[in-house]
Amino acid sequence: MNLCASHGRSFAVPPLCFSLCVFTACLQSHAQPASDAASPPQRLNEVIVTGNPLGSAAPVAPASSLRGVPLLLRSKSTLGETLDGLPGVSSSYFGPHASRPVIRGLEGDRIRILSNGGGSQDLSGLSQDHAVGMDPLSAERIEVLRGPGALLYGGSAVGGVVNVIDNRIAREPQFDAKGGVSGKADFSAATGNRERATGVLVEAGNERYQVHVDAFHRQSGDVSVPRSLPCEKNGLIRSRQRMCNSANQADGGAVGLSWFGQHAYVGLSASTFRSDYGVVAEDEVSIGMRSERYTLEGELRQVSAGIETLSWSLGHSDYAHTERSPDELTRFANRGSEFRVQARHAPWGGWQGVIGLQLDGARFKAVGEEVFAPPSKTDQQAVFLYEERAMAWGKLTAGGRLESVKVESLGGGEQFVQGKRNFAPKSMALGALRQLPGGWQLSSHLSYSERAPRDYELFANGPHVATAAFEQGDASLGKEQSSQVDVGAQWRSGAHRFAANVYLNRFSNYISLMPTGGVQDGLDEFKYRQVPALFRGLELSGQRRLMEGLHTLDLGLKADMVRAVNRASGEPLPRMAPWRVGASLNWTQAAWTASLGADHVGAQLRVPPTAGGQRPGTTEAYTLWNAAATYRHQAGPSQLLWYARLDNLTDALAYSATSVLTTTVFPKAPLPGRSLRVGVRLAF
């Protein structure tokens, strides 16, 4: 009996149950290859670096990675939109050029965004219209840790970690003693926003030294959308099928230098990123953003009998952006530094792990008419420990982190008061991974995390135009405390694979921006308060090989859902992604690949009441189709990869449930319409 076909005709099955049936039936029907001779060679799993300091092939915490062609085809102008659609990951989507990843319903400063393991130190967590200070165009690999990463990266990683990895500081020599040069160049164009993008990377060196240089440029116009929208500029109003004020220009680059010894390396890099983009919530407001980062890092190996490796990094970031309107300017700036050192010790009683120290400092200030948070200083110190113990059946993991956080408001006239708060957050976690016959693995992860409130959560007091709210902080807020349990199952047999994770995250005092019922400066008044909250969800992904031989054909499946509720009132929390299911067919033949996929997003009707005249953040269900193709061939010593991707093939109208714009400026900011992107990548 063909269970896949049977369930495919049963339209009465609820969507989530349907996806479960498809996963179990389609994947288990091919649990064993037909024969050893017909089986493809077993591919080694890629090692996930983020949250996995010992480099285990199978980390306990759920994580995923994008690199190479999959990253190239998914890459968009923001980190949030690039990762949107991965199981458990959505996007805050403040238009096409300002969005952060949302992981398991948690967003903002509960998600730690890293650059090569170091904090990005931008202000994207302060407001949804603030762009992340990096462009996916320069990334070699992006890793996503779903669930708390607070042990290694601090309490702000209570929701997850996104690590953007490039090779600006090489940690291993790429060339031998004779030396060499390698690199790549990428050129692409898109129709939906008339984008033109270029990226170039060159690396040269030998077994002792390596130099890295990269540069990129991206320019686009207003984004095509499936409906006509009004746009007011210079006193004139016109309607067209474009998202008003959504054009962008971005430039960046970096240089890096590494030295390699027999048991050590040292490297340094300097990078810059600039972006000038329109604020889609306001027709005549734009943002000019710049981010500069300097990093020095190194590692010593075989340090002593008790210490296997000693690694350290020192990073400094300078981030600023200016919001420009016809009548006023508002400038936000943040300077921050981070020092991190960790030692990997030799086995102690069967346990192997790392112990580390992390120091962070940031200075924030804002000047202008639309300032809602005072100038502030935040200093953090932390020690952490992470351990693993191999067992006959798998492994155990354990760890803890102690922090000291000082948040100080420097005041500012009558609007902002001076104040200082000290916090001592702590986090701990236990995990287990059990190997089972038949290619199965079971994992479980239990964690407790504490997060110190941010400066704006404590001391904000002003109009925040991006969220259409007058925001007020609460200087009496306590540490945010949460407990999470995550249970997962993974299976692999040849080209077939399956993964599932179920999680529950319970906050005793979740910090939420709640309406007060009042009005200030013509905006509804909101205040940061602490409420008991519960997040729970499910993530599924898998692949089944349908055809093997000269042609291969794979069926990819995925599904996820998250529910979040205020336990005190029973009301849902705002901006939660609805349930989602997706499927894709991926074909390969020699130098050719092609894919066709669809992502269906359910309606979101579970929304809290809104303040004043704001629109409830409900959204209708939609389905987005996409297709892609690549062709690879040699051109002398170089390799050319031609690629094309067609997004939103049917030009469907859709709105994001995780975007504040769906509530504040509906219908100004739908998801982009149909767009074809074509490009070529040269590697040498």
Write the DSSP string, 613-669.
TPPP--B--EEEEEEEEEEEEEETTEEEEEEEEEESTT------TT-THHHHSTTS-
Contact between 161 and 51 under an 8 Å Cβ cutoff? The reply is yes
pLDDT at 56: 84
Query: Of the segments 7-16, 51-60, 584-593, which one has the largest average pLDDT value?
Result: 584-593
pLDDT at 21: 40
- The string of pLDDT tens digits covering residues 202-258 is 999 999 999 999 999 999 999 999 999 999 998 899 999 999 999 999 999 999 999
Asked if residue 22 has pLDDT above 80, the reply is no
Q: How far is CA 499 from CA 27, 85, 87, 556, 579, in A?
A: 11, 16, 10, 12, 17
pLDDT category of residue 613 using cuts at 50, 70 and 90: low
Contact between 223 and 240 under an 8 Å Cβ cutoff? The reply is no
Give the Cα separation of 132 and 137 in Å (integer).
13
Asked if residue 42 has pLDDT above 50, the reply is no
Q: How far is CA 557 from CA 85, 319, 490, 498, 612, in A?
A: 12, 39, 14, 9, 41
Asked if residue 374 has pLDDT above 90, the reply is yes
Q: How far is CA 578 from CA 392, 617, 620, in A?
A: 41, 12, 10
pLDDT at 588: 97
**Higher per-residue pLDDT: 612 or 525:** 525
pLDDT category of residue 26 using cuts at 50, 70 and 90: very low
Fold (CATH) for 31-683: Maltoporin; Chain A (2.40.170)
Q: Which residues pair with 239 in a beta bridge?
A: 230
Q: What three-state secondary structure class fits 467?
A: helix
| Averaged pLDDT for residues 76-93 | 96
Q: What three-state secondary structure class fits 274?
A: strand
- The string of pLDDT tens digits covering residues 155-198 is 889 999 999 999 999 999 999 999 999 999 999 999 999 999 99
Kindly list the strands in the beta sheet with 141-146, ordered across the sheet, starting from the edge strand earlier in the chain.
63-67, 141-146, 160-165, 111-115, 118-119
| Averaged pLDDT for residues 553-569 | 98
Domain extents for the chain?
A: 31-683
| Averaged pLDDT for residues 585-594 | 97
pLDDT at 161: 95
- Residue in 275, 280, 282, 464 with CA at minimum distance from that of residue 366: 464
Asked if residue 9 has pLDDT above 70, the reply is no
pLDDT category of residue 58 using cuts at 50, 70 and 90: confident
pLDDT at 45: 56
| Averaged pLDDT for residues 408-412 | 93
Asked if residue 152 has pLDDT above 70, the reply is yes
Window from 127-131, 297-301, 568-572 with minimum mean pLDDT: 127-131
Give the Cα separation of 254 and 296 in Å (integer).
14
pLDDT at 6: 36
Give the Cα separation of 200 and 190 in Å (integer).
18
Contact between 654 and 678 under an 8 Å Cβ cutoff? The reply is no
pLDDT at 137: 84
Indicate the average pLDDT of the chain: 91
| Averaged pLDDT for residues 141-157 | 90
- Residue in 401, 391, 335, 402 with CA at minimum distance from that of residue 362: 335
pLDDT at 120: 82
pLDDT category of residue 81 using cuts at 50, 70 and 90: very high
- Residue in 630, 655, 632 with CA at minimum distance from that of residue 643: 630
- Percent of the chain predicted with pLDDT > 70: 93
Q: How far is CA 367 from CA 27, 333, 473, in A?
A: 57, 9, 18
Q: Are strands 638-647 and 675-683 parallel, antiparallel or unpaired?
A: antiparallel
pLDDT at 585: 98
Asked if residue 29 has pLDDT above 70, the reply is no
| Averaged pLDDT for residues 330-335 | 94
pLDDT at 327: 85
| Averaged pLDDT for residues 490-502 | 96
Place of tokens 């020192």: 314
pLDDT category of residue 540 using cuts at 50, 70 and 90: very high
Give the Cα separation of 314 and 307 in Å (integer).
21
User: Which residues are within 8 A (CB) of 6 and not within 5 positions of it... i.e. 6 or more apart?
Assistant: none
pLDDT at 432: 97
Contact between 223 and 192 under an 8 Å Cβ cutoff? The reply is yes
